[in-house]
Structures are given as C-alpha cells and as structure tokens.
C-alpha cells in the first residue's frame, strides 16, 4: 500500500505538476501550430499524449474527491494553459488519437478500479 502523503506533500506535488505544465505550455506557444512540430503531429506529441491524457481525464474521475487533480485537469483543458488547450483540441481532431489512443468511460472506470485496489 502506498504511504499516505501529508497535505503539504500533496500540495507540493501538485504545484510541481503545475510548474511542469507551465513550461510545457510555454514550449507549445513557441510553435507555429498546435503540435510540437507545428502543424503536423510529431513523435514529441505522441510521447507526451499519454501523460496529458491522464491529467485531463483522471481529473474528471476524481470529481471533487481530489480537488487538486480536478483543478489541474480543468486548467489543462483551457483555463490556465491556452497552448495546451489548443493541443488537446488538435489531438481530439486527429483520427488516430480519437479512435485508438484517447480513453473512454470504460477505460477510465477500469483505471479507477485499479487505483483503488492499490490503495491510491
């Protein structure tokens, strides 16, 4: 079972994640298109997609149980990081991502059950 984090430790981890997303948003802002490679999906987009997918979708599952995670998810979809929001929109419109990679309600329900079994 995972050790219980203190509130201060959890806040520090969420702040570190937010800082990393600040840097990622700035990097995406330097490109001429929504993707790391500009107008075309690149290996960088494919590499970061699973991580950004989890931030975005798992926050919806937390549904208030973990307010910081729900906040990160909402911010990633546009409140604080406009370039990441643009990236999500472009990825959602890219057929291979939308049809094969992007999670659905079933995959996230299964993931939540797995987390529960591990005591997370």
Question: In the chain, where are the structural domains located?
Answer: 7-117
Q: Which residue would you say has higher pLDDT here, 30 or 118?
A: 30
Tokens of residue 27, six digits = 């990097």
Q: Is 36 exposed, middle or buried (0-12, 13-18, 19+ CB in 10 A)?
A: buried
Tokens of residue 21, six digits = 């997303």
CA distance 35 to 83: 9
What pLDDT digit, counting tens, does each position of 60-99 carry? 555 555 556 666 666 666 667 889 889 988 998 888 887 7
What pLDDT digit, counting tens, does each position of 18-62 carry? 888 889 999 999 999 999 999 999 999 989 988 887 777 665 555
Looking at residue 6, what DSSP letter applies? P
CATH code 1.20.1050 for 7-117: yes
């Amino acid at each position: 079972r995972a050790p219980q984090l203190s509130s201060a430790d959890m806040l520090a981890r969420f702040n570190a994640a937010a800082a990393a997303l600040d840097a990622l948003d700035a990097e995406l802002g330097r490109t001429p298109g929504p993707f790391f490679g500009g107008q075309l999906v690149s290996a960088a987009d494919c590499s970061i997609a699973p991580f950004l997918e989890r931030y975005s979708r798992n926050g919806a599952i937390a549904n208030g149980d973990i307010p910081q995670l729900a906040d990160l998810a909402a911010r990633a979809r546009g409140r604080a990081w406009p370039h990441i929001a643009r990236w999500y929109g472009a990825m959602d419109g890219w057929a291979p991502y939308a049809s094969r990679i992007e999670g659905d309600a079933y995959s996230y329900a299964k993931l939540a059950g797995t987390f529960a079994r591990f005591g997370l």
